[in-house]
Amino acid sequence: AQSVTQLDSQVPVFEEAPVELRCNYSSSVSVYLFWYVQYPNQGLQLLLKYLSGSTLVKGINGFEAEFNKSQTSFHLRKPSVHISDTAEYFCAVSPSRSNDYKLSFGAGTTVTVRA
């Protein structure tokens, strides 16, 4: 079984400032890692994913994340946020060697960007 912990439930940040959202996971098997964004009253949109290879992955909207196997972390960063980045962000994992790929999600981090 897998579990995901998002260490910050709320992150207020000023426009054009950097932001980091922290995610740690626990799993007895190798996993794929994902970050999703959810805008109010909408579904989830994939921001980026780590499958294998380079530990620094780049996604849409200027986001990037770094996979750290020894610390079992997958933190999300953006160097300069916009008002439009106000949303809820979810870290998720799925087993990489399985035939179902069901996702286990963290509880989410609400990012509020202020002018």
Chain residues that interact with another protein, rule: CB under 8 A: 4, 6, 32, 36, 41-46, 49, 51, 90, 92, 94, 100-108
Query: C-beta of 16: minimal distance to another protein in Å?
Result: 29
In terms of CB distance, is 74 or 90 closer to another protein? Answer: 90
In terms of CB distance, is 82 or 102 closer to another protein? Answer: 102
Query: C-beta of 56: minimal distance to another protein in Å?
Result: 20
In terms of CB distance, is 36 or 67 closer to another protein? Answer: 36
- Identify the DSSP state of 41: T
